[in-house]
Amino acid sequence: MLSDPAALLRAYDDQLRTDAETPGALSVDRLGPLRLAVFPGGRGFISYRDLEGADAATIRGWVGEALAHFVAKPDVVDVEWKTRGHDVAPGLHESLVDHGFVPGDPESVMMGAAAGLAVDVPLPEGVTLRRLTEEADVRAMSAMADEAFGDPVSTRRADDLLFRLSREDGMELWVAEADGVMVSSGRLEPVAGTDVAGVWGGATLPAWRGRGIYRALTAVRARSALRLGKTILHSDSTEYSRPILERSGLVKVTSTTPYEWTR
């Protein structure tokens, strides 16, 4: 099962959608099969197990109602509708675009055995790994990740992560530091009631890429996942991280594309 894409996709649909995607949400409302979540920092999020065979007209209606739900919440500044490449969703792309959602870059949904990534990875001289729990460290990590992604430094990501840590839901934050300066980061998100943990938020400063640091951060998170009894790892991966995970035995089970609406 741990290397069978079809079996892993079934596990993904059954275990990693809906509740598993919203552990840090402030609120979750329902609209048909949709879950409409609000996260700290004014971030809206829309996901679902599937669209229940709905036709294009029904889906267009849901898009409009879901957006109206968030527009009526003045604290929500942007909304992500998370699509998956294997879903049956007639007219969804057109409906989202017509309602002002902008598609982002597709990512690969990767899954596989955690043991394949829990290996010893040599680090460059002067680079060490550390798990974070203190607010100042979390804010520094978040600012570094913004820089790595080419985004303006914002407090929203840090606020969200600190809220998650306060709830003690099992999330772990890890960084790689070069002579005490953060150069790469990532988080581990064990999914309650499953054998799965998510590997998320991988960010490495451009000058430090290609040196095995991201692979080492993934390995330490895989070892932590195994200690927690999680045997399967899951990640939405960019084209930078996908080949690294593939070499460790993870397989692509589908794709995911975020559609973003901004107030």
pLDDT in 10s for each residue of the chain, 263 residues: 677 899 999 999 998 998 888 888 999 999 999 999 999 889 999 999 999 999 999 999 999 999 999 999 999 999 999 999 999 999 999 999 999 999 999 999 999 999 999 999 999 999 999 999 999 999 999 999 999 989 899 888 898 899 889 989 899 999 999 999 999 999 999 998 899 999 998 899 999 999 999 999 999 999 999 999 999 999 998 887 888 888 888 999 999 999 999 99
HEC string of 109-139 equals EEEEEHHHCCCCCCCCCCEEEEEECCHHHHH
Is the residue at 10 inside a domain?
no
Q: At what angle do helices 135-149 and 156-167 cross, to 10 degrees?
A: 140
Q: How many domains does the chain have?
A: 2
Q: Mark whether 80 and 201 lie in a shared domain.
A: no
User: How many Å apart are CA 140 and CA 148, to the nearest integer?
Assistant: 12
**pLDDT digit string (tens) for 40-71?**
889 999 999 999 999 999 999 999 999 999 99
Neighbours of 58 (CB within 10 A): 15
**Contact predicate 115/226, CB 8 Å:** yes
Q: Mark whether 56 and 158 lie in a shared domain.
A: no
Q: Mark whether 134 and 95 lie in a shared domain.
A: no
Q: Mark whether 92 and 156 lie in a shared domain.
A: no
Q: Mark whether 243 and 132 lie in a shared domain.
A: yes
Q: Which of 204, 205, 206, 137 is nearest to 172 (CA)?
A: 137
User: How many Å apart are CA 136 and CA 141, to the nearest integer?
Assistant: 9
pTM of the model: 0.87
Q: Mark whether 102 and 116 lie in a shared domain.
A: no
Q: Which of 114, 122, 123, 121 is nearest to 249 (CA)?
A: 114
Q: Mark whether 133 and 178 lie in a shared domain.
A: yes
Determine the structural domain holding residue 51 and report its residue range. 16-106
Q: Kindly report the CATH number assigned to the domain that includes residue 119.
A: 3.40.630.30
206 secondary structure, DSSP code: G
Q: Mark whether 87 and 149 lie in a shared domain.
A: no
**Contact predicate 165/138, CB 8 Å:** yes
CA 25 vs CA 97, 193, 207: distances in Å: 25, 18, 34
Q: Mark whether 50 and 87 lie in a shared domain.
A: yes
Q: Mark whether 246 and 116 lie in a shared domain.
A: yes
Which backbone phi and psi does 23 adopt, to 5 degrees?
Answer: -70, -25
54 secondary structure, DSSP code: -
The amino acid at 55: D
Q: Mark whether 244 and 120 lie in a shared domain.
A: yes
Tell which of 106, 124, 143 closes a domain.
106
**Contact predicate 198/189, CB 8 Å:** yes
In angstroms, how far is CA 157 from the centroid of its own chain? Answer: 12
Q: Mark whether 92 and 204 lie in a shared domain.
A: no
Is the residue at 9 inside a domain?
no
Cα-Cα end-to-end distance for the chain: 43
